[in-house]
Amino acid sequence: MEDIYNDLIMEHSMNSPYKKELEKYTMCEVGHNPNCGDEIELKIKLSEDKSVIEDMAFTGHGCAISQASTSIMIETLIGKTVEEAKEIISTYIGMIKREITSEEELKKLEEAIAFKDISHMPARVKCALLAWHTLEEMLNNNDSE
């Protein structure tokens, strides 16, 4: 892994600006990865018409990869529309599963591209996907309401 990405992951895992309580939120969901013991609670605040992610935060505990991927996911997706977020989520999952490799496609991940090499570390894949799967589920539930 390139050093700049390592630093980014370390920074977010040790000192995330998004690891906090959210006073007002639209939805809340717990994600759990029993393989590693990672557990996160994601809270999201959507705009009134539910089309834009206005704020997001998390609490919980787990390994550096799970904590950093949650934090960087939040940083990447705050301010995005729900539609944009869904596209970024599926691109990220595609990157980790090595189904999406085009640089052009991966550009939309912004800093979350830091986790590209996790796809070569099978033991860490579930840690890197936890927050993203949890959020994907939340946004899909949002649609069905």
Which is closer to Zn ion, CB of 116 or CB of 124? 124
Report how far residue 128's alpha carbon sits from residue 126's, in angstroms, rounded to the nearest whole number.
Answer: 5
DSSP letter at 15 equals S
Report how far residue 111's alpha carbon sits from residue 2's, in angstroms, rounded to the nearest whole number.
Answer: 13
Min dist CB 19 to Zn ion, Å, is 15
Single residue of 31, 38, 43, 55 touching Zn ion by CB under 5 A: 38
Single residue of 13, 16, 66, 91 touching Zn ion by CB under 5 A: 66
Which helix (H) or strand (E) element contains residue 65? helix 64-77
Q: Which of 115, 127, 144, 44 is nearest to 85 (CA)?
A: 44
Min dist CB 142 to Zn ion, Å, is 26
Q: Within 92-131, which residues bind Zn ion (CB under 5 A)? A: 127
The stretch among 19-27, 31-39, 95-103, 136-144 that binds Zn ion (CB under 5 A) is 31-39
Q: What interhelical angle do 64-77 and 3-14 show, nearest 10?
A: 90
The stretch among 36-44, 86-94, 100-108, 133-141 that binds Zn ion (CB under 5 A) is 36-44
Give yes or no for residue 36 binding Zn ion (CB under 5 A).
Answer: yes
Number of H helices, E strands in the chain: 5, 3
The count of residues interacting with Zn ion (CB under 5 A) is 6
Residues that bind Zn ion (CB under 5 A): 36, 38, 62-63, 66, 127
